[in-house]
Amino acid sequence: MKNPTPITALLTLLFLLLANPASHAANHNTGPWDLADLSKAPSIEWIDQSGPIRSLYYSGEDYRGKKTRVFAYYGIPEGAAADNKKPAMVLVHGGGGMAFREWVEIWVKRGYVAIAMDLAGKGAERQALPDGGPDQSHKEKFTDLDGGVKSAWTYHAVANILRAVSLLQNQAEVDPERIGMTGISWGGYLTSLASGLDPRLKVTVPVYGCGFLHQNSTWLKDFKTLGPELAGQWVKNFDPSSYLHQANMPMLFVNGTNDFAYPLDSYQKSYRAVKGPRTLCITVRMPHGHPSGWKPKEIGLFVDSILIKGKALARIGKISRSGKQVSVDFQSEFPIKSASLHYTTGTGPWKERKWKSLDAQIEGNSASATLPSLKDTTWFLTLTDERDATVSSEHKTITQP
């Protein structure tokens, strides 16, 4: 028998996959979560159902044998209705955060249905709920793992943000095919997890938070305290590195050069892990916090470009270096008004490195600059368009002149 041609082999493979979709779906790592159950709409108890910004409880994951409720703000933009469905966003807070009404208002003004839930067992203004889920201290994030995977905060937080996606999908005014997510700090970490778990999400923006936390992050001491066995369980179940390779949606990664919690090396491993298209927005010494994390205009513009066919951010292509000369190729729907080189010659912890910036030259669809030094230099280039929206190249490190 003759060997099949490449085209025949490809068609055969496609036929087998289509004939038995469970065969490749089974390879999707779902961790400890029951995604089929989490895809069902949770029950809702409305607290306030008037005005554009409303409040509600929805059913959460059982915690230590008891039913739980999750508090959330829910925003509806003007004109949203069953015959005028709108895109929607899930807004995931970080450590010390809560369901932020202001954050919902920002997205509603942009024309999106939005939901921001509390992931610390609290209600409005941080009031503890008698039937809330786990809090979000280090104990709930790490130590409680010794009581089993489903005792840990991450298990409940991920389950409850996926329930929020299901809630949105079942609202008459929401287009179920246009739902995105953004999260800040630990919320960015959760968004990274959700990106690899939930294909219903069409766009995601993790801010600060990333994976590979066991390799470098502010929590290295926590992993050491857990010990090898529990630390291994934590990474297997709860580190985004176990799931990011399954993320196929467009993603915007937003971070600062000196973030105290999520350093650029772990961040780079995270964005390199995803399968879908990725865009970077790295800012020198970006402050860490909730208002700082939802402020970048690039977030809204990026989501718009995916969910409402807005103009895209600039796209960086080839990154090159010849001696001290560095450059990037790019494509942009708006003129690029400026470009910059950012570099550091520090070799210590990322959060302590001192960065300097220089103007770069733009010629056609390329931007270039000259590095002052080659020794132990880490560098990247940024492009800013006429909307003042900035994108970044990956950072590159030169260890030898």
Q: Is pLDDT above 80 for 49?
A: yes
The structure tokens listed for 400 are 């030898």
186, 301, 203: which is closest to 249 by C-alpha? Answer: 203
pLDDT band at 401 (very low <50, low <70, confident <90, very high): low
pLDDT at 26: 55
**Do the Cβ atoms of 158 and 166 come closer than 8 Å?**
no
Looking at the chain, the whole-number percentage of residues with pLDDT higher than 70 is 93
What is the H or E stretch that residue 72 is in? Answer: strand 69-75
Interior/surface letters 247-273, b for 16+ CB within 10 angstroms, e for the rest: bebbbbbbbbbbbebbbbbbbbbbbeb
The structure tokens listed for 346 are 């520090």
Across the range 225-229, mean pLDDT stands at 95
Residue with tokens 């839930």: 117
**Do the Cβ atoms of 211 and 189 come closer than 8 Å?**
yes
pLDDT at 84: 98
Instruction: Decide if 29-311 and 316-398 have a common fold.
Output: no
pLDDT at 400: 72
Interior/surface letters 277-314, b for 16+ CB within 10 angstroms, e for the rest: ebbbbbbbebebebebbbebebbbbbbbbbbeeeebbb
Q: Is pLDDT above 70 for 375?
A: yes
How much is the pTM? 0.92
CATH class as words, domain 29-311: alpha beta
CATH class as words, domain 316-398: mainly beta
pLDDT per position as a tens digit, 162-220: 999 999 999 999 999 999 999 999 999 999 999 999 999 999 999 999 999 999 999 99
> What DSSP assignment string belongs to 243-282?
TGGG--S-EEEEEETT-SSS-HHHHHHHHHH-SS-EEEEE
Q: Is pLDDT above 80 for 317?
A: yes
Phi, psi dihedrals of residue 277, rounded to the nearest 5° = -65, 140
Residue extents of the structural domains in the chain:
29-311, 316-398
Q: Assign 139 to helix, strand or coil.
A: helix
Residue with tokens 């402050």: 287
